[in-house]
Amino acid sequence: MQLTVEALQRWIINTNEKMQENKGYLSELDQAIGDGDHGHNMARGFQEVVNKIEGNSFEEAGSLFKQVAMTLISKVGGAAGPLYGTAFLKASDEWKEKTTIDQEALGKGMEAAIAGIKTRGKAQEGDKTMLDVWGPIHAYVTTQPLQREKLKKTAKEAMEKTKEMTAKKGRAAYFGERSAEHVDPGAYSSYLVFEALAESITN
């Protein structure tokens, strides 16, 4: 598995398409256990990202993801924008001067991204957040050969598992036990991010 900078750029463009398509559903999820803006936040943020990167060519993965990160941090209100932004910023540090990302580099980038999300948001896996998708994907990427359908399935199953969890962080935590029975919106948007990644993998 080797992702060129161009393939990484297509990953982000594909992610934006999924955010636009699922904007209504993401906000619906956030209406149940939050303030109903997650679809709006993600769709706006990734559209801004695509406006910045489309038509540009990047020499290396680090500068591409730094641009992605800075746009998400500056353009997206709410919790998720800065958390996603931090994730991509930490990955961009790992991917400095890299013109291709292999599976090992992907794992290292994700590890840094997860550490960034945890430092910024003070959440752990099991708290019913985006981390409950990022964690299992990282575990998969670092232990098994990367395969398109398996990656999608891992992301989907991790997202679905957040349904039964009780939220400990973010707005959903105010709902306490009532947050169970609903999928976490940030876990769903993270599932879309990794579904888009899977579609960049050729096997």
Residue with tokens 């256990």: 33
Contact 165, 126 (CB under 8 A): yes
**What is the spatial distance between Cα 33 and Cα 181, in angstroms, rounded to a whole number?**
10
Contact 133, 194 (CB under 8 A): yes
34 contributes a contact to Mg ion by CB under 5 A:
yes
170 contributes a contact to ligand ADP by CB under 6 A:
yes
Residue 82: contacted member of ligand ADP, Mg ion, none (CB under 5 to 8 Å, by partner type): none
What string marks each residue from 179 to 198 as x (binds Mg ion by CB under 5 A) or -? --------------------
**What is the spatial distance between Cα 88 and Cα 70, in angstroms, rounded to a whole number?**
9
80 contributes a contact to ligand ADP by CB under 6 A:
yes
35 contributes a contact to Mg ion by CB under 5 A:
yes
Stretch binding Mg ion (CB under 5 A), from 7-15, 32-40, 51-59, 99-107: 32-40
Q: Which helix (H) or strand (E) holds 18?
A: helix 5-21
Q: Which residues of the chain form contacts with ligand ADP (CB under 6 A)?
A: 30, 34-35, 37-38, 41, 78-80, 83, 117, 121-123, 129-131, 169-171, 184-187
